[in-house]
Structure 1
């Protein structure tokens, strides 16, 4: 019975969950915004103002590294975006789709640190309903927001597709994988990915049902770019098996990073995390 128990199997066919209910159980917990976007003194550009919820306040130098602006999705939603210039001569830019329950203000110091260490620039954005982005969070809006940020990156910063690394973390692997099926890029990084929404609820499921949401495990088979999967072996939110399922389906898999003893939210503190990303950028991509 495809890895499900009798109770789950009967429930599946008698009352199958709809994608929105699956999504509600595994994603979309936008925090109280940790920042606002305001006009500068000259009224010519935007700047970010962090609240106490952001925990880390930027120095004047770091403020100069950050460029904030809005992008419009194809359905008209306004998406807040942040570009961090960590290396003026960076060869690559990460288009970073962050995890759940955080926004750009809370992630900004991490972006500065990561980009500086990897010598890359980073463009990130907030999903609909997160931070200062308009609209409601759902799978369709998630994908549209990522596409809008990608288009803005190419247009505003004159970045070529072969200079972009699509990076998704946790729920951010959903729009990252979707975009990677549609555009070319230097590489794709899937950090703690979920196979699908249904598999988060039923980890032993071996097939994808028509009502499932976040079908990464199916979409990743259409990704044309080299793909690096990173997952913690003790992940309590999205079990390690998800990372292995995704890696096994990649058409162009890179050697994965399985971080022993890492959970869902602490992979970045393990030294092998940074070492693996440096290897990707400096050796495998060159």
Structure 2
């Protein structure tokens, strides 16, 4: 009935894992920070990227990046980055990145992505990542995305209908949580997971009270158009998670199932950018 074997059930009921322990084991692998913020012209912050950030552009392109700190409801200070990728962008993407990278490592990707699909990019580091304070946890993850959302709305005056929430891997968790509470222009879920227990125990068919990241129970409340992207050979979050999340979305659009792609190489396939361009420039425009 529940998809778990007798031995697994005994382990769960005799010593059930706390959600925070599931979260820590499955999700959070913050790298050594690949950037710092330095004060420039008084209180204004500028980003200084280390060699490990592998910045692929010139110093001039960094002038399009604005960085600052904001504070969460749990009193952590999180680092934020706004990249003006194009002068006539209708949409701004609020990007929640994967579990083993920080803003520095993602900065080149953000600039390239935004330029190609005609969107500006706003992103942030989770508590305990990069220059953000605190420790990674499920509760902090939700507080982090809330703080990023409010910073984007108040600092830049961007209307919800002009925001696209993009979550990748563990970043789909705060993305789904936010999208279940606010209506936005659209949502993109890249390699999403149903829940922590369903990753750890693939045969799990229900949400346990001690489960972490229960996106499968929240995604049905998302009222915005949702594009789900998943590699069919994903070795970290099985393709079945993407299928299930897509099926639960009330306004799911045609998904992108990338044949042969794993967890970390979907972006290398040509259909990735093609599908995003189609979604942003054609489907949302109509």
Say whether the fold is shared (TM-score over 0.5). Answer: yes
Question: What secondary structure sits across from 1:264 in the alignment?
Answer: coil
- Separation in 2, partners of 1:209, 1:44: 47
Deviations 1:114-141 (A, max 9, x none): 0000010000000000000011110111
Counterparts of 1:81-92 in structure 2, within 5 Å, are 81-92=80-91
- Separation in 1, partners of 2:265, 2:162: 28
1:159 matched to which residue of 2? 158
| Structure 1 unpaired stretches of 5+ | none
- Separation in 1, partners of 2:102, 2:57: 16
Structure 1 moving runs of 4+ over 3 Å = none
2:27 matched to which residue of 1? 27
Give yes or no for the alignment of 1:191 onto 2:190: yes
Q: 1:239 Cα shift?
A: 0.6
Question: What secondary structure sits across from 1:273 in the alignment?
Answer: helix
Q: 1:44 Cα shift?
A: 4.0
Residues 194, 238 of structure 1: 8 Å contact kept: yes
2:3 matched to which residue of 1? 3
- Separation in 1, partners of 2:20, 2:65: 35
Give yes or no for the alignment of 1:12 onto 2:12: yes
1:252 matched to which residue of 2? 251
Query: How many pairs align?
Result: 285
Deviations 1:236-256 (A, max 9, x none): 001101111111111111111
Q: 1:6 Cα shift?
A: 2.2
Residues 37, 47 of structure 1: 8 Å contact kept: yes
Question: What secondary structure sits across from 1:165 in the alignment?
Answer: strand
2:144 matched to which residue of 1? 145
Q: TM-score, normalised to structure 1's length?
A: 0.97
Deviations 1:72-125 (A, max 9, x none): 111221110000000121000000000011000000000000000001000000
- Separation in 1, partners of 2:145, 2:61: 25
1:102 matched to which residue of 2? 101
Counterparts of 1:1-286 in structure 2, within 5 Å, are 1-40=1-40, 42-56=41-55, 58-286=57-285
Q: 1:153 Cα shift?
A: 0.8
Q: 1:57 Cα shift?
A: 5.7
Q: 1:14 Cα shift?
A: 2.2
| Structure 2 unpaired stretches of 5+ | none
- Separation in 2, partners of 1:38, 1:101: 23
- Separation in 2, partners of 1:165, 1:78: 24
RMSD over equivalenced CA pairs, Å: 1.0
Q: TM-score, normalised to structure 2's length?
A: 0.97
Deviations 1:6-27 (A, max 9, x none): 2112222222211112112211
- Separation in 1, partners of 2:159, 2:43: 26
Residues 50, 57 of structure 1: 8 Å contact kept: no
- Separation in 1, partners of 2:217, 2:122: 26
- Separation in 1, partners of 2:114, 2:156: 16
